[in-house]
Amino acid sequence: MREMESRMFEMESTAPRVQLNCIVNGEAVSAMVDPAMTLLNFLRKELKLFGTKEGCGEGECGACTVIMNGLAVNSCLVLAVEAGGARITTVEGLGAGGDLSILQREFMKHDALQCGFCTPGMLMSARALLDRNPDPTMEEVKEAIAGNLCRCTGYVPIVEAVLSAARLEREAGRS
Ligand code: FES
Ligand code: FES
**Domains, in order of start, for the chain:** 2-93 (3.10.20.30), 102-170 (1.10.150.120)
Taking the complete model, does pTM exceed 0.75, yes or no?
Answer: yes
Read off the pLDDT of each residue in 20-49 and give the average, rounded to a whole number. Answer: 97
Question: Is residue 57 lining ligand 1, measured as CB closer than 6 Å?
Answer: yes
pLDDT band at residue 12, thresholds of 50, 70 and 90? Answer: low
Ligand with an atom nearest the CA of residue 10: 1
Residues in the chain: 175
Nearest ligand 1 atom to the CA of 65 is 2
Residue (of 97, 87, 148, 143) closest to 123 by Cα position: 148
- Are 67 and 3 spatial neighbours (Cβ–Cβ below 8 Å)? no
Residue 23 has pLDDT above 60, yes or no: yes
Q: What is the pLDDT of residue 97?
A: 87
